[in-house]
Amino acid sequence: MCVNLLPFQLSIQYHPRVWGGQRLQVSPQNPIGEAWLIHEHNLVKSGELAGQSLEQAAKSLGADLLGYKYAGSRFPLLIKILDCADWLSIQVHPNDTQAVQLEGAGQLGKTEAWHLLEVETGAELICGVKAGVSPEQLEAAIRSSTVRDVAQYQAVQTGETVMMEAGTMHALGPGMLLYEVQQTSDITYRVYDWDRPASAGRALHIEQSVAVTTTKTASITPRLEAGILTQCPYFVLEKLVEPSTYTPDGSSFHALTITKGQATLQSAGQTWDLARFDSVVIPANCPEYSLSGHFEALRSSLP
């Protein structure tokens, strides 16, 4: 094991989207839909790993960074903040097996979870298919661009958490700012795009959508003040609100994001002052670390 492999921060990737808003703004000309906080292509900002991508660090450090629970060499999670000012496309993601079958060797599926940070009154999302819709009816709706008629709409509130398994048809609606944790995959099959022009990278994926979409609905966890918000075979998502000290056991990294207030992270005599949406990767073999301050934070790790 490495000695004192300390927490580190990454550069952020900002992605303009046609549905993006102003809350992640870095340029007034381009509404930002997604801020990729932790991703394998983000670069380490400081410390011994400075200038490396998270992908490079994961390959070179292996279990010291990722944890002994994980058998792969890729950093397995992607953490984002999304600012939704308009409807995202109705879409679906494949599971691991389907990703390889449809996209090639080495591809991963995409199960994801959303924690809703700010939700305007009346905001809603699509989280699956209405009860009673058969697979045959679903396929017909996908092929005829009438999936709005079979989609399950759900009003949501600040603080709720949505688990979206691969294969579940979904769409985020306007008026939401949210945290997303997902498998390291950017495979999205667009089922329907609200009649936007099918250009600029926004084509529909009808055959792929038919192949992977199920009649599932998502599970929604009511607001919790702290503790485990949701979990699945790919990740555990927790909410932290109290100053505390943690001792990693080597089984998994911790991906930490401040979502409210400010926090101070300390480990091995070093200090990091963290503001809203600042994120830190805490390696699996990191020494004991502590969080203090008045804050709310989300922490993702392997189950």
Assess whether pLDDT exceeds 80 at residue 187. Answer: yes
Q: What is the pLDDT of residue 1?
A: 44
Reported confidence tier of residue 4, pLDDT bands at 50, 70, 90: low
Q: 74, 143, 190, 299: which is the annotated catalytic residue?
A: 190
Q: What is the pLDDT of residue 27?
A: 67
Reported confidence tier of residue 125, pLDDT bands at 50, 70, 90: very high
Q: Among 201, 200, 160, which residue's Cα sits nearest to residue 179?
A: 160
CATH 3.40.50.1000 fits 236-301, yes or no: no
User: Where on the phi/psi map is residue 44: left (φ > 0), alpha (ψ -120 to 50), or beta?
Assistant: beta
- Percent above pLDDT 70 for the chain: 97
Beta strand pairing status for 151-155 and 124-129? antiparallel
Q: What is the pLDDT of residue 3?
A: 47
Long-range contacts of 101-109 (CB under 8 A, 24+ apart): 102/208, 102/211, 102/212, 103/187, 107/185, 107/187, 108/74, 108/183, 108/184, 108/185, 108/187, 109/166, 109/183, 109/185, 109/187
Which residues lie closer than 8 Å to 225 by C-beta, 6 or more apart? 239, 241
Looking at CATH, the fold of the domain delimited by 13-221 is given as: Jelly Rolls (2.60.120)
Reported confidence tier of residue 72, pLDDT bands at 50, 70, 90: confident
Distance CA 245, CA 58 (A): 25
Instruction: Tell me the H-state helices in the chain.
Output: 54-61, 63-66, 96-103, 135-143, 206-212
Distance CA 184, CA 216 (A): 22
Distance CA 217, CA 289 (A): 38
| Model pTM score | 0.95
Distance CA 160, CA 172 (A): 14
Q: Among 122, 120, 133, which residue's Cα sits nearest to residue 168?
A: 133
Assess whether pLDDT exceeds 60 at residue 76. Answer: yes
Distance CA 226, CA 249 (A): 21
Kindly report, as residue ranges, where domains of CATH 2.60.120.10 are found in the chain.
13-221, 236-301
Query: Is position 143 annotated as part of the catalytic site?
Result: no
